[in-house]
Amino acid sequence: MLIRNFIFWLSTKRGVTNRIARHGMRNGFARRFVAGESLEEALTASQELCSEGRNVSLNHLGENVAGEAAAREVSAGYIRMIEELHAKNLRGNISIKLTQLGLDIDKELCRSMSREIAARAAVLGRTIEMDMEGSAYTDATLDIFESVQRQLGNCGLAVQAYLYRTEKDLLRLASVKPKIRLVKGAYHEPKNIAFQKKSEVDANYRKLTTLLLEGAAQGTFSPAMASHDWNMVTHAQSEAARLKLDKSRYEFQMIYGIRRDLQAQVHAAGDTLQVYVPFGTDWCPYFMRRLSERPANCWFVLRSLFAESGSASRQPAV
Ligand SMILES: Cc1cc2nc3c(=O)[nH]c(=O)nc-3n(C[C@H](O)[C@H](O)[C@H](O)COP(=O)(O)OP(=O)(O)OC[C@H]3O[C@@H](n4cnc5c(N)ncnc54)[C@H](O)[C@@H]3O)c2cc1C
C-alpha cells in the first residue's frame, strides 16, 4: 500500500512525470498501456483490437484544462475522434472526461459541449461514455450526464464502487436507462466517503454488479463491468447466468495492455469485451496511475530508465 501511495503521489508531480514522459514513448515502455501519442496511432491499435473481435472506447488522455479555448479544442478533438472511428467502421465509442471540457471553469459550457459531442455521435448512430473523476466532481458529473442522457439517450457513465453513495446514485439514474460502467475507482478518497479496504470495495462491487444485472433483466441498465479482477468477472458471469441474461444485455470492459490473458478468456466465453484505448501526449499521469495499481509494473520502467540514464551519463554534456 505504501509503494502504491508513493507512486500515486509521484504521478501528481510534474517534474517526475515530465522526466518519464521524455523517455517513455521513445524507449517503448509507455506503449504497454498507452496506444500512442496521436489519434492515428490509437486508430491503428483499435483496428487490430476490432479485428480480434473486441470493441473499443477511445480515450484522449489529459485532465483539467486552463481556459475556455482549450476546452473547445478538446471538444473539437472528441468530435474528430468519433468521426474517425465511424469513418474507419470500427466497433466502439469514445470516453470523455468532463474536466477536459472545462468543468472547473464553467459548468454550463461543459454541459453544452458534452451535449454537442453526444449529438454528433447520435447522428452517426454512436454512443459516448463519460469517465468518473475524483469526488470533487461526482455531483456535477452526474448532473451533466443525466441531462445529456435524458435528451439524447446515447450516453454511458462510469460509477465507482469504492464510494458509499454509488448505490443511491444508480437508483437515481435508473429513470434515464443508462449504460453504466462499473469500476472500483482510481482516485484516493477519504474514509468518510469511500471504502478503504480492498475487501469492502470488492464486496460493494459484487453487490452493484448484481443490482445492475438485475436492472438489465428489467431493461433499466446496460451494465459494463470494468475490472481486471478475475473474481469480479466470474461473479458477473455467474449472476448473468442465474438471471438467464442474453449476452447482448451486458458487457465487460478492460484497459488496453492490462490482463490480456483475462481479456482473451472473456472473449473466448462469448462475452462482449470493450477495450479502453488511451492515447495522447499527456499520457504520463495516466500511465503512473496504472503503475500505482500494480507496483510490479514499475520494475520494467525503472530498468529502462536506468539503462538510458547510464548510457546518457557517458555522453558529453551539451
Ligand atoms: C475500462 C475501464 C475504465 C475505467 N474508467 C474509470 C473511470 O472512469 N474512473 C475511475 O475512477 N476509474 C476508472 N477505471 C479504473 C478502475 O477504477 C480501477 O482503478 C482499475 O480498473 C483497477 O481495478 P480492478 O477492478 O482492475 O481491480 P484490482 O483489484 O485493482 O486489480 C485486480 C487485478 O487486475 C490486475 N491489474 C489491475 N490493474 C493493473 C495494472 N495497472 N497493471 C497490471 N495488472 C493490473 C492485477 O492482476 C490485479 O490483481 C477504469 C477501469 C477500466 C477497466
- Specify the CATH number for the domain of residue 211: 3.20.20.220
C-alpha dihedral over 95, 101, 103, 108, to 10 degrees?
-110
Residue 205 in domain: yes
| pLDDT on residue 301 | 63
Q: Which domain holds residue 185?
A: 63-254
| pLDDT on residue 23 | 64
Q: How far is the CA of 259 from the centre of ligand 1 (A)?
A: 10
**Between 284-293 and 14-24, two packed helices, what is the crossing angle to 10 degrees?**
100
Q: Which residue has the cell 477511445?
A: 58
Residue 312 in domain: no
Q: Which residues of the chain have pLDDT under 70?
A: 1-4, 6-7, 10-11, 13-27, 295, 298-318
| pLDDT on residue 281 | 87
Active-site residues, by number, are 131, 181
Q: How far is the CA of 227 from the centre of ligand 1 (A)?
A: 5
Query: Helix (H, G, I), strand (E, B), or coil: what is residue 65?
Result: coil
Q: Which residue has the cell 473474481?
A: 231
Name residues contacting ligand 1 (CB within 6 A): 131-132, 158, 160, 181, 183-187, 226-229, 253-255, 258-259, 276, 290, 293-294, 297
Mutate to test the pocket of ligand 1, among 61, 155, 184 (most ligand atoms within 8 A of CB): 184
Residue 275 in domain: no
Residue 9 in domain: no
| pLDDT on residue 306 | 58
Contacts of residue 230, defined as CB under 8 A and 6 or more positions apart, other chains included, come to 262
Q: Which residue has the cell 489519434?
A: 39
Residue 317 in domain: no
| pLDDT on residue 7 | 65
Largest CA distance in the chain: 69
What Å distances lie between residue 275 and 59, 91, 119, 143, 238, CA to CA?
A: 10, 11, 23, 26, 22
Count of domains in the chain?
A: 1
| pLDDT on residue 314 | 31
Using left for φ > 0, alpha for ψ between -120 and 50, and beta otherwise, residue 130 falls in beta
Specify the residue with its C-alpha closest to ligand 1, atom 8.
131
Residue 29 in domain: no
Specify the residue with its C-alpha closest to ligand 1, atom 19.
186
Q: For residue 63, what are the β-bridge partners?
A: none
Q: How far is the CA of 162 from the centre of ligand 1 (A)?
A: 12
Residue 11 in domain: no
Q: How far is the CA of 35 from the centre of ligand 1 (A)?
A: 17
CA nearest to 156, candidates 229, 238, 212:
212
How much is the mean pLDDT over the chain? 89
Query: Helix (H, G, I), strand (E, B), or coil: what is residue 56?
Result: strand
Residue 237 in domain: yes
| pLDDT on residue 308 | 43
Amino acid at 57: S
